[in-house]
Structure 1
Amino acid sequence: MKPCTPLSRARPLWLRDARWELLLFGVFALLLLGLGIGLRDPWPSDEPRFALVARLMVEHGQWLFPHRGHELYPDKPPVFMWLQALAYLVTGNWRVAFLLPSLAAALTALALVYDLARRLWNHRSALLATATLLVTIHFTYQMRNAQIDPLLLGWITFANYGLLRHLLLGPSWRWFAAGCFFAGVGVATKGVGVLALLMLIPYLIARRGHWHQLALPSGGWRWVGGLALFLLPILGWLLPMLLVAHADGDPQHAEYVQNILFGQTVHRYATPTGHIHSPFYFLGIIVVDWLPLSLLLPWALPAWWRRLKRRDARLLLPLGWIVLVLLFFSFSPGKRDVYILPALPMTALALAPLLPGLLRRRGVRVAVFALTLLLAGALTIAATLAIHRHPAWAGKIEQSLDPQIWWLLLSIGVAGLIVAAFTRVRRAPLGWLLFASILWTLYGLWGYPMLNGDRSARDVMAQARAIAGPQAEIGLLAWKEQNLLMAQGPTSEFGFLKPWPQQYAEAIAWQQQAPVHRWVFSLDEAMGTCVNRHHAAYVGHANRREWWMFRADAVMPGCVPATYTDEDAEDTP
């Protein structure tokens, strides 16, 4: 393996100094991913849940057993919520804190892909690969959200970096140990972090087949010692939790342990209850969500095949790992687009040596130009029709979104058409870069404040407090996490997972203890026919749901609402 060229002597891509290119790209990435932070609250589907759990950790100091309201939350390990809580303790602002772990994970992943590609090839290839990753729609969109999967991407990319530094650029047992450790952190964040260790399978194939560009470390027990570090972060979370659950004898803690160790891992993978898709589901995600990176694949696949036939281990290891990840998730009936998100950085890495040549090909430039033109044109046409013709589909969308959304989309579309007109086919990659910059900048600075009131339930909870008055207590019935998170003033809740009739009975009993000072805030369906809506107050529409408030005089004595199943267990993002 040839030594890595120092950045000070690297051949730049478009400026005179590669170091300035890297600095400017870092600022660009920070702005593209970070603009809008502080301008919105958590939005469904998952953000309010994790932010609520993190806030309750800070307020009550219960760090090992996360809570959603007064119930335990066993669906995910607490690492992501720990980091959100830590970010709040540092910043003192939840609007900023809840997005910081994802931002840090995104910037770290970009830095690691760049550094590894530069060491394996050169600065130009590395910068192009990192830019391609940054402006891929799935990466940019997900890394601007406060969910667990962006953080998992960061840990898995860190693990892959450490393993590849050892297996391709080594031997480096310290990096191997670091890779194993961060794979363990990934498991403590979301169980599938162990997938990073699948990198050892293509390595063993390459070593057995005497592939080129491969390190040949012979460490004996060092392999075992490195893999032992994989268990360190897992046990660092698991042992204290198990010891406390055993010591206090709380049956809820015992049930939490059982659920998070088995119900949310093995059972959820083998027999999922939702998001059921065909084995080929992820191929569609790659084609559509991975634009514009996916446009390069028709040219990249044969180029990869030629290099694999020359036994280049620098491509076998990341590509083999990507295939194994796709197979792993394809075998499970339950599938979501974010499951394969951690494969994106390694895909960009494998593209790195091809990108300088691919981006000069006219076919690639025509495809990228067509994507920019079609997306910008579609946004322009749809927004224009919605503003001037008001078709039925636009009215349905406006039931959940501010009508001003059309002016935002029109601005993005027109700006994209102008960019396409100036860059044309010759500079199509630059055109997509500029279009992506405009899209995410306007979405963050204009879209976030515009959509926040409805998406976060801030407006409806402020209206609820205005109806009840500053001193009254509000009880939440059939609530969503954003309702409790955004609630103002004295608030009670009656469980999240309990059936709605049971919540209703407890809410009515609670209200009757102080009928003058207590209101119930309820989802429309949960009240059934047991509340006289002429005596209730309509609060508003939020998150595709209608919300009401009522006092004791609106309750029909002896009535029990019929059991109702909320088919929308999770809000759409």
Structure 2
Amino acid sequence: MLDQTRVPAHRPAYLPSPEHDYRLLWSLLMLFALVLLGLGIGLRDPWPADEPRFALNALEMLDTGQFWFPHRGGELYPDKPPVFMWLTALSIAITGSVRMGFLLPTLLASLGVLALVVDLTRRLHGPRIALLSGVALLSTLQFVLQAKTAQIDMVLTFFTTLGAYGLLRHALLGPARRWWLIAWAAMGLGIITKGVGFLPLSLLPAWVWLARRGEAMPLTWKELGLGLAVLTGVIALWGLPMIMIATFSGDPLLAAYRDNILFKQTGERYADAWHHHEPWYYYLLEVLPWAWLPLVLTLPWAAPAWWRRARRGDARVLLPLSGVVLIVLFFSLSAGKRGVYMLPTVPLLVLALAPLLPGLLPRRGLNWLATAVLTLLGGLFLVAGLSGWLGLPALSELSIRYGITPWAWWVLLGLVAAGLLAWLRPRRGVAALALWLVAFWASWSTWGYLLQDPVRSPRDMMTQVAQLTGDEAWLALPSFDEEFLLQARQPSVHFGDNTPLPEQFARAFHWMQQAPESRWMLAEASHLEAYACVDMTQAKDMGPQNSDEWWLVPGQAVADCEGNANAALLFVAPTTVE
């Protein structure tokens, strides 16, 4: 049953209407989300593994004007379509800053997901449950984590959520053929963002079954055909020009880009994954227990309620729930698995849980379970922080390895957990856990950023390198990582990301020997150990960065090394926008 707000027959004119109350509370919810999710923007650089790569893609687009074929370090980057890079480039261009711009696409996408979930829940279950669904989404660990991470997946999730929103509007509140077409257009945009934008189609099997029972709008072949046409047309807006340019350019590198992104990065990546191999139970046992936290705590009580609604044929719950199950199954069948692949399930899970929340939140068992989880988390942070302060050897080694001492931060998080537990008591454990997560993300986005950024970003190291060599000196980066090119403060070159490491060093040695007074090399100590010809007495130890030890080697130090005079790709790093 839809939530019904009882309204007096003759409301005084000076009292706000329920719709006015809802708009006010919705505005406050979105403002809170903007502050929570946007907090910390401008305080840190892009962090490995993915963020520097996409920021570098965007900077090269702005620097070269080549927007159709993304490049990374001067080489074509065929792993992902360019939509996310376009959005990042636009954000950086508008703000004039990498630090201010690189997180904006995921922030705006996360706010869009929130707005879609709340609006659809309001239409299906009423305003009170809609606001609860928004709070539930903002409490979910993986959702907030990805909203604060400049990866493609939150933008993908916006498109898959918009696709699901349109399909559900048509299925449950239809006919709504405009939203049906918008859904297919969104899926097309999702596909040219990260391949799997078709995930909302996981709703169709349950939809067909429910339509036969009269619980959902019937589907027609005409509607399916029109939807597929819209999806294909959206993909073609990018795909056809890309294919035409690559095919008729006569450039074998563009042809290889075309084949890679159309085949290797789609079907082959799923059917015969070459990395991130995990067992079939990886998501069920290793990802979802933390990614869905705290929503996962409701499952012992939600599962029986879902079963009862399934027997009644409640399409409002069954459709999003079926999407969650099929998406988890779809990704579990592939050998290649990453935790972030589960992000599109979170909005659907909230939609399936939403009508149960008023009955679940007061439950004594759920609140005691949330209290136990908060006690565990707070206790771990408090004990670890105090142990680090007292010099426990294991934590001291960890601190030396990663170059940070987060003890005060961790103790504070433990004390906040203890304070919330004392204030709200176990009977309000869910509220205590949700508030602690807000405190965690607020401190993570400020104190945590300031602690981690010098370690996870080579900004300071690259600035020091430029000071030691001079701004005009050239720097070689064999076996480069994107964050080093991104933070380069001088002309920097590399020798092919896919070139074997010995060949990269041979080319680097030859290149440095051509002008030893003005050419330097920044390399990992573990790689330099293989070259006894390098005079390490002339090299400068730059210290640890990204868990590796780095050395700055002048051109004179490689005079006795055997080089390779074969033509090498030399890429001059673009100037970083501050």
- Per the normalisation by structure 1, the TM-score is 0.93
Asked whether 1:189 is paired with 2:193, we answer yes
Distance 2:50 2:399 in 1: 21
Q: What's 1:331 paired with?
A: 333
2:365 is aligned to 363
Paired residues of 2:39 and 2:446 also in contact (CA < 8 A): yes
Equivalent position of 2:259 in the other structure: 258
Aligned partner of 1:178 in structure 2 is 182
Q: Which one of 555, 558, 561 corresponds to residue 558 of structure 2?
A: 555
- Residue in 2 that maps onto 1:566: none
Preserved contact between residue 460 and residue 541 of structure 1 (Cα < 8 Å): no
Matched, 1:37 2:41: yes
Aligned positions of 1:16-35 closer than 5 A: 17-35=21-39
Are the counterparts in 1 of residues 211 and 219 from structure 2 also a CA contact under 8 Å? no
Count of paired positions:
553
Point out 4+ residue stretches in structure 1 off by more than 3 angstroms.
1-11, 558-561
Q: Deviations over 1:34-62 (max 9, x none)?
A: 10001000001110011111110110011
Which letter maps to 1:532?
Answer: D
1:377 and 2:373 matched:
no
Q: Which moved more, 1:462-471 or 1:374-383?
A: 462-471
Contact 1:32 1:441 in 2 (8 A): yes
Contact preservation (8 Å) 1:65, 1:73: yes
Cα deviation, residue 227, structure 1: 2.4
Does residue 398 of structure 1 match 2:394?
no
* Residues 510 and 563, structure 2, Cα contact 8 Å, conserved in 1: no
Matching residue within 514, 519, 544 for 2:547: 544
**Structure 1 position 559, deviation (Å):** 4.5
User: Structure 1 residues 186, 6: CA separation in 2 closer, same or farther (over 3 Å shift)?
Assistant: farther
Query: Tell me, what secondary structure is at the counterpart of 1:246?
Result: helix
* Structure 2 equivalent of residue 523 of structure 1: 524
Letter in 2 for 1:546: E
- Report if aligned partners of 2:70, 2:78 keep a CA contact under 8 Å in 1: yes
Cα deviation for residue 2 of structure 1 reads: 7.1
- Equivalents in 1 of 2:396, 2:206: separation in Å? 50
Counterpart position of 1:79: 83
The equivalences for 1:35-434 within 5 A come to 35-208=39-212, 210-212=213-215, 214-216=216-218, 221-284=222-285, 285-403=287-405, 405-434=406-435
Q: Which amino acid aligns with 2:338?
A: R
Contact 1:385 1:391 in 2 (8 A): no
CA contact (8 A) 2:44 2:449 kept: yes
After TM superposition, give the deviation of residue 558 of structure 1 in Å. 4.1
Q: For 1:442-481, what aligned pairs fall within 5 Å after superposition?
A: 442-481=443-482
Distance in 2 between residues matched to 1:379 and 1:486, nearest whole Å: 33
Distance 1:283 1:56, change over 3 A: same
Mapped contact 2:184–2:227 kept (Cα < 8 A): yes
- Given residue 441 of structure 1, which amino acid in structure 2 is its aligned partner? A
Q: Note if contact 1:461-1:487 (Cα within 8 Å) is conserved in structure 2.
A: yes
Specify the code of the residue in structure 1 equivalent to 2:56.
L
Give the unaligned 5+ runs of structure 1. Answer: 562-573
Sequence identity percentage: 44
Q: Return closer, same or farther for 1:76/1:4 CA change in 2, 3 Å cut-off.
A: farther
In the TM superposition, residue 85 of structure 1 has moved relative to its aligned partner by 0.4
- CA 1:237–1:334: 2 relative to 1, 3 Å: same
> In 1, are the aligned partners of 2:387 and 2:395 still within 8 Å (CA)?
no
Alignment match, 1:568: none
Letter in 2 for 1:476: L
Change (3 A) 1:394 1:6: farther
Query: How far apart are 1:459 and its partner, in Å?
Result: 1.8
Q: Is the 8 A contact 1:91 1:97 kept in 2?
A: yes
Q: Which moved more, 1:467-476 or 1:110-119?
A: 467-476
Partner of 2:568: none
> Which is further off, 179-188 or 528-537?
528-537
Deviation at 1:6, TM superposition (A): 12
Name the amino acid aligned to 1:172: A
**Does the 8 A contact of 1:304 with 1:315 survive in 2?**
yes
SS of equivalent to 2:520: strand
Q: Give the distance between the partners of 1:249 and 1:55, measured in 2 at CA.
A: 26
Whole-angstrom distance in 2 between the partners of 1:52 and 1:557: 34
Letter in 2 for 1:289: A
Q: Tell me the amino acid that sits aligned with residue 67 of structure 2.
A: W
Distance 2:54 2:5 in 1: 43
Deviates most, 527-536 or 84-93: 527-536
Contact 1:479 1:523 in 2 (8 A): no
